[in-house]
Structure 1
Amino acid sequence: MSKSPVVPVSRRESPGGADSQETTAPSYGQSRAGDVFQLLRDGHARTRAELASITGLARSTVAARIDALTAAGLIGPAGEAISSGGRPPSRFAFQPSARIILAVDVGATHILVALLDLRGTVLSEIREVIDIATGPIPVLDQMLELSDQVIARAGRHARELVGVGIGLPGPVEHSSGKPASPPIMPGWDGFDVPAYVQNRFDVDVLVDNDVNIMALGERASHWPDVENLLFIKVATGIGAGIISGGLLQRGADGTAGDIGHVRVPRGGDVMCRCGNIGCLEAMASGPAVAATLAAAGVPATSGDDVLELARRGNLAAIAAMRQAGRDVGDVLAASVNLLNPSVIVIGGGLSSAGEYLMAGVREIVYQRSLPLATARLRIVQSMAGGHAGVLGAGHMVIDHVLSPASVEHLVQQQP
């Protein structure tokens, strides 16, 4: 595929990454191979005659589109249908292993690079420690090195790559892929991430906020039928991915869901790194909880230390985790009344403490939200866990590169 660093501003991913405005109703009356392919994306094998019946296209036209999609490697033979007399007709199905996707989850202190097939199955992955504050070039260079490694580990080749999806721990202008004044990412503001990555991989590169892609990944993998979902990441930072009416909501400037900088009742005059006081992140993030414990004489310097203490049954750590949950619940109670989600998923590093954090969240949300808003509300721990980000980044790219227009472009590139 040719370079395409900019995604149109009007483009919005549905919670598995689907293009709500581009692929909601494929025009099967058109004769493009990309439109015919949409009927095969579900993995069900179909014959030429079945496709002709569904699309209304001439069988000769369908045959030509099948040949073009087969040449591109997107579909392949899938056995034969039952014959009604004569030679059994051949069936064709989507071949998700035909091409590969790089999906990258960049956090404040970690990077996870995964290689996915076109169905979103993880083929290989590598996770390493980073410091996002070192700046975009060191972090992206490490990402590119790890990308080469995951491709090699899976026995694939870079020429099979059709797209890269990246989640970053800060606001992102999704139309350009550039970070926009990210509070914990010095040196990243306005950096052209897609262009830098495309110097190495000449494919489409999509970039979004890490919590947004986690919301996409969690829904695609575990809540595909849920139309209204909040994904809350509680880690070094705190943020929310908002899916409302089946669509990911980014807001006017890509900052929707930045709940970490909402003031909480217990915040007092505690200074936050954003410059304000009393922010949720300053009270309930991993570093904040660790600082609270350290001030009480409990040895903790990071969120990981807090988790380890809680797992060992340290009462101070357990109490601190539950209080962090209450602080998160204070903000979520207002969000529940405003957005009326049916599912709230708690993810991120501190969520692995399980019920300690969750108990505090549930306590406040059910206490302070309207009864009607919580009547069917479920508050659950992330089931995708540490893979939510790469799954979401992968699905975001997959639905972009498998859209009718992108498939048509890929087909036309074939010799």
Structure 2
Amino acid sequence: MAELRITTKALPEHGRVRNRAMLLQALFHDGPRSRADIARLFALNKVTVSAIVGELIEQGILVDAGHSAAVRVGKPATLVAIDDDSRSIVSLDLSDEQAFRGAVMNLRGQASTLTRFDGEVDRRDAAATIARVIEMVDELIGAAPAPVLGIGVSSPGLVDRDGVVRYAPHLGWFDADVRGALNERFGVPVHIVNDANGMALAVHTFRENDGRSILILTIQRGVGAGLIVGEKLIVGEDFAAGEIGHVVVAPQWEKVCACGRRGCLESIVAIPELRRRMDEGEARESVVQDAADAIAAAVAPIIAVLGATRVVLAGPDDVLDDDFAAAVQRCLTARTLPATTRPIGVDIGSDGGLLGLQGAAVAVLSAELGIS
């Protein structure tokens, strides 16, 4: 598990980096504060806070934001705030089954430049795929309006802590050192994140939520899950947490999955399969019902064991819509105790493709500034 938000005072061994992240986290989520307020909030020495704030102002990450409106004796306190446009983040989302997406984003995950590569990439040629990623990053860095904080890449498959994509068959990547290739070419920090984990981070960081547990299910050519429980991202010892695409949910299913078994979640709900069935004339209601049943079969045990309170379905909005979410909600209710599922909301993460890009941006924000 990975800690997301730093909310406790630093111990001696954590030092300045932790205090800096804690300060930035508060300003990012709660808005402008005075130095004195920050010192009181985290029980830090005022001199320590002033030194960190001064350094961040010098770097351009923080700016003075006027005086506090609070009525108090003496001179009004000066507020400090994060300059959202002080740094650019280059984000790539490789999860879409039809196209690669890239963006230049500010610290709020807002895109100033978007690019999309619709051309066919030979996904059996790992070197060609990485070369295309490098080409996109080069284009985006050239369009960045501010110093680049880092490069974030959201990739399907198993991604380890070193940025090596261990297994992403849809991209032709097996032990592909994507981070190393980008870092060698561009010389800026690079962070690679599993696409489902990244989207969970994006919901956690950039969307309104109640702070409780989030389960995000990404449905594209493959299927994956990202899970945040108690402010911690669950990644697993072998970085395989959330790889639920080949969980068998309907052994009676006729079509054989790519893995050789019948009834895997991916073989039922992957976007190409859903589109194929509808294009061949099957009623949308029937196709959606089969998908919702399969999703509920895979997700209900996770909810029951870990207590997720929000489920977000992410994928193309021509397939995943409000009716799809409602069907999943009904199927989850049928498979669990009402007390378990009543508080759960099932939402569609439809945002024009920004969620995956924002997930890559959070990977950079978290690693470089401690913000998530």
The TM-score bracket by the shorter chain reads: 0.7 to 0.9
- In the alignment, which residue of structure 2 is the partner of 1:407? none
- In the alignment, which residue of structure 2 is the partner of 1:124? 113
Q: 2:300 aligned with 1:333, yes or no? A: yes
8 Å Cα contact 1:218-1:383 kept in structure 2:
no
Counterpart of 1:205 (choices 190, 194, 214) is 190
The one-letter amino acid paired with 1:179 is V
8 Å Cα contact 1:267-1:280 kept in structure 2:
no
Partner-residue secondary structure (3-state), 1:127: strand
201 and 374 in structure 1: CA distance in 2 versus 1, 3 angstrom threshold? same
CA distance in 1 between partners of 2:285 and 2:46 (Å): 67
Q: 2:154 aligned with 1:167, yes or no? A: yes
Q: Percent identity?
A: 27
28 and 53 in structure 1: CA distance in 2 versus 1, 3 angstrom threshold? farther
8 Å Cα contact 2:215-2:225 kept in structure 1:
yes
Counterpart of 2:86 (choices 98, 101, 110) is 98
Deviation at 1:261, TM superposition (A): 0.6
Q: 2:11 aligned with 1:25, yes or no? A: no
8 Å Cα contact 1:182-1:189 kept in structure 2:
yes
- In the alignment, which residue of structure 1 is the partner of 2:338? 371
CA distance in 1 between partners of 2:205 and 2:108 (Å): 11
Partner-residue secondary structure (3-state), 1:163: strand
91 and 196 in structure 1: CA distance in 2 versus 1, 3 angstrom threshold? same
346 and 64 in structure 1: CA distance in 2 versus 1, 3 angstrom threshold? closer
Aligned positions of 1:62-77 closer than 5 A: 63-77=50-64
1:353-390 Cα offsets, whole Å, 9 max, x none, are: 41443343233211121222112122222254521111
* TM superposition score normalised by structure 2: 0.84
Bigger CA radius of gyration: 1
- In the alignment, which residue of structure 2 is the partner of 1:138? 128
- In the alignment, which residue of structure 2 is the partner of 1:301? none
* TM superposition score normalised by structure 1: 0.76
1:227-269 Cα offsets, whole Å, 9 max, x none, are: 2121111221112111222211111211112221111226435
Aligned positions of 1:8-407 closer than 5 A: 12-14=2-4, 18=5, 23-27=6-10, 32=16, 35=19, 38-41=22-25, 42=27, 44-47=31-34, 57=45, 59=47, 63-80=50-67, 90-107=78-95, 108-129=97-118, 130-131=120-121, 133-156=123-146, 160-173=147-160, 175-186=161-172, 188-265=173-250, 267-293=252-278, 297-298=280-281, 316-349=283-316, 352-384=319-351, 386-403=353-370
176 and 351 in structure 1: CA distance in 2 versus 1, 3 angstrom threshold? farther
278 and 178 in structure 1: CA distance in 2 versus 1, 3 angstrom threshold? same
The one-letter amino acid paired with 1:165 is G
Equivalences, count: 362
CA distance in 2 between partners of 1:368 and 1:151 (Å): 48
Deviation at 1:141, TM superposition (A): 2.7
CA distance in 2 between partners of 1:37 and 1:248 (Å): 18
Deviation at 1:154, TM superposition (A): 4.8
- In the alignment, which residue of structure 2 is the partner of 1:6? none
8 Å Cα contact 1:33-1:66 kept in structure 2:
no
8 Å Cα contact 1:104-1:393 kept in structure 2:
yes
372 and 73 in structure 1: CA distance in 2 versus 1, 3 angstrom threshold? same
The one-letter amino acid paired with 1:221 is F
CA distance in 2 between partners of 1:320 and 1:45 (Å): 49
Partner-residue secondary structure (3-state), 2:101: strand
359 and 224 in structure 1: CA distance in 2 versus 1, 3 angstrom threshold? closer
8 Å Cα contact 1:343-1:377 kept in structure 2:
yes
Aligned-residue Cα RMSD (Å) equals: 3.1
8 Å Cα contact 1:267-1:283 kept in structure 2:
no
8 Å Cα contact 2:182-2:190 kept in structure 1:
yes
Partner-residue secondary structure (3-state), 2:242: coil
Deviation at 1:195, TM superposition (A): 0.6
CA distance in 2 between partners of 1:330 and 1:245 (Å): 24
Partner-residue secondary structure (3-state), 2:168: coil
103 and 62 in structure 1: CA distance in 2 versus 1, 3 angstrom threshold? same
Runs of 4+ with deviation above 6 angstroms: 28-31
371 and 50 in structure 1: CA distance in 2 versus 1, 3 angstrom threshold? closer
Q: Which runs of 5+ in 2 are unaligned?
A: none
CA distance in 2 between partners of 1:224 and 1:362 (Å): 18
